[in-house]
A and B are shown apart, each in its own frame.
Chain A
Amino acid sequence: MASRSAPAVAVLDYGAGNLRSARRALDRAGASVHVTADPERADAADALVVPGVGHFGQCVGALRAQGFEALLRDAAEQGRPVLGICVGMQILYESSDEADEPGLGLLPGRVRRLPDDVQVPHMGWNTLEIVRPDPLVDDVAGAHAYFVHSYAPDVEGPHVLATTHHGRALAAVARHGSVAGTQFHPEKSAEVGRRVLAGWLRTVTAGAFA
């Protein structure tokens, strides 16, 4: 049961992603969660979560078709927190090797295919290396998080908070202003995932972004 101070988080339902797991994990981390397919209802929340699994082009197309793009652009401009998970993070970037359709461009950089000399998908638990301190990555240095993906964001740039390595270094956690993302699945990463979500919720409550 959410307390009065629990931040209200809307999980965007545009037909992609494990919504049930995302909702439960956020709930466990201390949020008051609702899952909605309605941009107007989502607009009432303190913060927005963009889930996503599957194909970049299909996901970003479905997100746009559902009318969520303007909501997310406004959130980024107004400093309202956004958290993308896995492909939900990738579609916040400018573009991807996986599709011609552009991403939202709320995170700088491109999503690229993982190298050919490693197993793809990158599937399983990999370690987090913190490259910039942030509430999202408090207390998870060296810890394992659960990844499942075949494409991954660039590792360069001051918005990258944590990296991991699979054939090459890749961004595991990023935050640019109020827009953040995790390439791994916090909702499937046991206690480590809970800590990351709780850290993100602290930024929601604090309401200030460096």
Chain B
Amino acid sequence: MTLAARVIPCLDVDEGRVVKGVQFVDLRDAGDPVELARAYDAEGADELVFLDITASAQGRDTILDVVSATAEQVFIPLTVGGGVRTVDDARRLLRAGADKTAFNTAAVARPEVLSEAAAAFGSQCVVAAVDARRRDPADPARGWEVYTHGGRRPTGLDAIAWVKECAARGAGEILLTSMDRDGSKEGFDLALLQAATAAVRVPVIASGGAGSAEDMAAGVRRGGAAAVLAASIFHFGELRVGEVKDAMAAAGVPVRRT
């Protein structure tokens, strides 16, 4: 009896449509979040993350329709991030059918929002999304810095100290993205994961850099992550969720089989 490592596809949603080149052969409409969610569910995804990248204020509410339509048909946990600023934002998403909401920029701007959301909904509904980049690749001792606004704005915050603060303020989970590795397919930043998972008791989701099933397994076995997240390698069909689980199981990582 062991908790399974979770495999989590992440979908970028803009004004209600999935963007960033999803290439599933068997989908009628690869831009339809609900259809993609069902496809990933059928492949054995343990959870889904929707990242709302809608820039316009009036387009914002469309994520509620996406969440609601998905929750009607997909019976696995659903996390929504991107533009979640207040407890009311989180409440609307949870009411629409999300199970967790991820705070990123808003948490750095006002860390109290994490404790407010945890008090209102429980820590299990509150994910802290942290985007981190090495301060100096030539000097690992300088650690990692937190970036906000989709990775555009440096904050000066030390990523590990920030991860600890997020957990202390009530985040029930950390979604930790390595900006150095994001899109590189060189594997997760294992040193970052190790530092973060040693610093907090809450689960850490590894994100940024997985290029193979072996990378995913390493994120759990060596990085200490409770879950692994990826976007494009799943969307382009380079890797299927089932394959990742096979490789993780072969590497001795417990996974859920469907």
Residues of A at the B interface (CB closer than 8 Å) are 18, 20-21, 24-25, 28, 53-55, 87, 116, 119-127, 129, 144, 146, 148-150, 163-166, 185, 187-191, 193-194
CB A68 to nearest CB in B, in angstroms, measures: 19
Q: List 10 A-B contacts (CB under 8 A).
A: A53-B122, A53-B125, A119-B203, A124-B3, A124-B4, A125-B46, A126-B4, A190-B76, A193-B75, A194-B75
Neighbour of A21 across the interface among B71, B120, B172, CB < 8 A: B71
Please name all residues of chain B whose beta carbon is closer than 8 Å to the beta carbon of A20 when the two chains form the complex.
68, 71-72, 95-97
Known contacts: A148-B124, A193-B75. The answer to whether A124 contacts B96 by CB under 8 A is: no
Q: Which residue of B lies closest to A126 (CB)?
A: B3
User: B58: CB under 8 A from chain A?
Assistant: no
- Measured CA separation A189–B71 after assembly (Å): 13
User: Is B46's CB under 8 angstroms from A124's CB?
Assistant: yes
Known contacts: A123-B226, A124-B4, A124-B6. The answer to whether A18 contacts B97 by CB under 8 A is: yes
Please name all residues of chain B whose beta carbon is closer than 8 Å to the beta carbon of A127 when the two chains form the complex.
1-2
**Lowest 5 CB-CB distances: which A-B pairs, in order?**
A54-B122, A165-B1, A144-B256, A148-B124, A125-B256
- Measured CA separation A148–B125 after assembly (Å): 9
Among B3, B121, B125, B201, the one with the most A-chain Cβ atoms within 10 Å of its Cβ is B3
Q: Encode B1-17 as 1/0 by CB contact (under 8 A) with A.
A: 11111100000000000
CB B48 to nearest CB in A, in angstroms, measures: 11
Known contacts: A187-B75, A193-B75. The answer to whether A122 contacts B3 by CB under 8 A is: yes
Among B5, B96, B124, B125, the one with the most A-chain Cβ atoms within 10 Å of its Cβ is B124
Please name all residues of chain B whose beta carbon is closer than 8 Å to the beta carbon of A53 when the two chains form the complex.
121-122, 124-125
Among B95, B120, B256, the one with the most A-chain Cβ atoms within 10 Å of its Cβ is B256
Among A55, A148, A150, A193, the one with the most B-chain Cβ atoms within 10 Å of its Cβ is A148
Please name all residues of chain A whose beta carbon is closer than 8 Å to the beta carbon of B258 when the two chains form the complex.
190-191
Please name all residues of chain A whose beta carbon is closer than 8 Å to the beta carbon of B3 when the two chains form the complex.
119, 122, 124-126, 166
Please name all residues of chain A whose beta carbon is closer than 8 Å to the beta carbon of B99 when the two chains form the complex.
18, 21, 148, 188
User: B37: CB under 8 A from chain A?
Assistant: no
Please name all residues of chain B whose beta carbon is closer than 8 Å to the beta carbon of A148 when the two chains form the complex.
77, 99, 124, 172
Q: Encode B243-258 as 1/0 by CB contact (under 8 A) with A.
A: 0000000000000111
- Measured CA separation A20–B70 after assembly (Å): 11
User: Is A123's CB under 8 angstroms from B203's CB?
Assistant: yes
User: B189: CB under 8 A from chain A?
Assistant: no
- The size of the chain B interface, using a CB distance under 8 A, is 35
Q: Which residue of B lies closest to A120 (CB)?
A: B201
Please name all residues of chain B whose beta carbon is closer than 8 Å to the beta carbon of A190 when the two chains form the complex.
41, 75-76, 258
CB B153 to nearest CB in A, in angstroms, measures: 30
CB A37 to nearest CB in B, in angstroms, measures: 14
- Measured CA separation A164–B227 after assembly (Å): 19
CB B32 to nearest CB in A, in angstroms, measures: 19
If A125-B46, A191-B258 are given as contacts, then 14 extra A-B residue pairs at C-beta distance below 8 Å, sorted by A number, are A28-B75, A53-B121, A53-B124, A87-B122, A116-B201, A119-B201, A121-B203, A122-B3, A124-B6, A125-B256, A164-B1, A166-B3, A188-B75, A188-B77
Please name all residues of chain B whose beta carbon is closer than 8 Å to the beta carbon of A121 when the two chains form the complex.
123-124, 172-173, 202-203
User: Is B71's CB under 8 angstroms from A24's CB?
Assistant: yes
Known contacts: A20-B97, A126-B3. The answer to whether A119 contacts B202 by CB under 8 A is: yes
Q: Encode B116-141 as 1/0 by CB contact (under 8 A) with A.
A: 00001111110000000000000000
User: B94: CB under 8 A from chain A?
Assistant: yes
- Measured CA separation A120–B75 after assembly (Å): 23
Please name all residues of chain A whose beta carbon is closer than 8 Å to the beta carbon of B125 when the two chains form the complex.
53-54
